[in-house]
Amino acid sequence: MSSLNEDDLKKHVKDKDTWLRFVYLVVFGIAFYLSIGLTFAASIFQFLAKLFSGSSFEGLSEFGDNLGTYQSQVTRYLTFASDDKPFPFAPFPTKK
């Protein structure tokens, strides 16, 4: 990282795109937090299905896989590893 002079600092602090990114960070941070709850609920449901029926639900397994991919996309966006906004700005990930 190069040193910043005062003018550069003012320019960066006033950059609207950076502040918009901050809003997206908050929104996607909340979405990520909620997705963890969904993951836990799906895990419990799958465990109960396996416990009582002997097998898990294939559709729920697929949803869990897609949810994991979504969480990965959100993490990449939150950490600036990607500029691609995840769902709902892109299709929800699916395995084909």
Closest by CA position to 80, among listed 22, 11, 4, 12: 22
9, burial (CB in 10 Å: exposed 0-12, middle 13-18, buried 19+): exposed
Predicted confidence at residue 4, as pLDDT, reads 67
Q: Provide the CA 94 distance to its chain's centre, in angstroms.
A: 14
What is the token pair recorded at 72?
A: 């990965």
Q: Is the model more confident about 44 or about 15?
A: 44
Predicted confidence at residue 8, as pLDDT, reads 76
Cβ 49 vs Cβ 56: under 8 Å:
yes
pLDDT digits (tens, 9 = 90+) for 16-67: 888 999 999 999 999 999 999 999 999 999 999 999 999 889 999 999 999 9
Whether the pLDDT of residue 78 is over 90: the answer is yes
